[in-house]
Amino acid sequence: MTGFAVSSSERYAGAVVIEAVVAAGPEGAIELVQRRIGAFLDAVGAGFFFPCRRREASRVEVRAGTASVHARLDVEDLPVTALAVLGGMLADCRHHDVSFRSAHALLGRREHDLLAEGGVRPAAAAQPPFAVELPPDLAGNSALLVEIEFAQPVPPDVGAGLLETLALWDALTLAYPSDPDEPVEVSGAQALFNDPRTIHYQEWVWDNAELEAWDLIVNLCCTWHATRPIARLHFE
């Protein structure tokens, strides 16, 4: 499979309960699965799945047992296709010799099999309130540069938090393999403010990943824009 369909038409509000049961894996397998699920829940709260937001006063709960991980989060307007991103992150665990007995998410009374790949991921916002610049030629090396230019200077303490949030995207990218039989390679990230208004984010290795993963950065910027207006989002 190459490429992913994108959709955000169906949304959910309420409790999301996640359970993943590991069938086999090396030492540290449960910790790996726990980190993947935790990164996904953090990404939901951060705004990568715009317009989704975490419900006020809700707590993120992630508990690990000897062979399973359980998690819970209360949300508003979650695109149901976001669960396919979590499923892809868990599917990537097979490249670390981790296999699952089961992995599912409960949305109210509706159960989603996280291991059933549908090839659908959340779409980017249809009309972002800022310029989005895409490269005219997508051929080239496996490096990736992203620049996010804010309308006003960003205070250093706020900027540090934005860079920490943006780093979650590395784990989300694992759900977008060009070749599902090979792992996505994401490494060597460099994130800093070029100037008080512009984030410079570069992946020196960004390989076997589909460009639909960029949609999540577009959505994150839409979330940020509500409180800290963005002028330009650039990919190359």
How confident is the model over 101-140, as pLDDT tens digits?
999 999 998 999 999 987 899 999 989 999 999 987 666 6
pLDDT at 58: 66
Beta carbons of 42 and 115 less than 8 angstroms apart: no
Residue 133 identity: E
Contacts of 140 (CB under 8 A, 6+ apart): none
Q: Tens digits of per-residue pLDDT, 170-223?
A: 999 999 999 989 999 988 889 999 999 999 999 999 999 999 999 999 999 999
User: What helix, strand, coil percent values describe the chain, rounded to 5?
Assistant: 25, 35, 35
45/188 Cα distance (integer angstroms): 25
pTM exceeds 0.85, yes or no: yes
pLDDT digits (tens, 9 = 90+) for 41-50: 999 999 999 9
Using only C-alpha atoms, the chain has a radius of gyration, in whole angstroms, of: 17
* Backbone dihedral region for residue 110 (phi beyond 0: left; psi -120 to 50: alpha; all else: beta): beta
Contact 37, 71 (CB under 8 A): yes
Amino acid letter for position 68: S
Phi, psi torsion values for 194, nearest 5 degrees: -60, -40
The candidate with the shortest Cα–Cα distance to 202, out of 234, 176, 177, 230, is 234
Encoding tokens for residue 199?
Answer: 């984030």
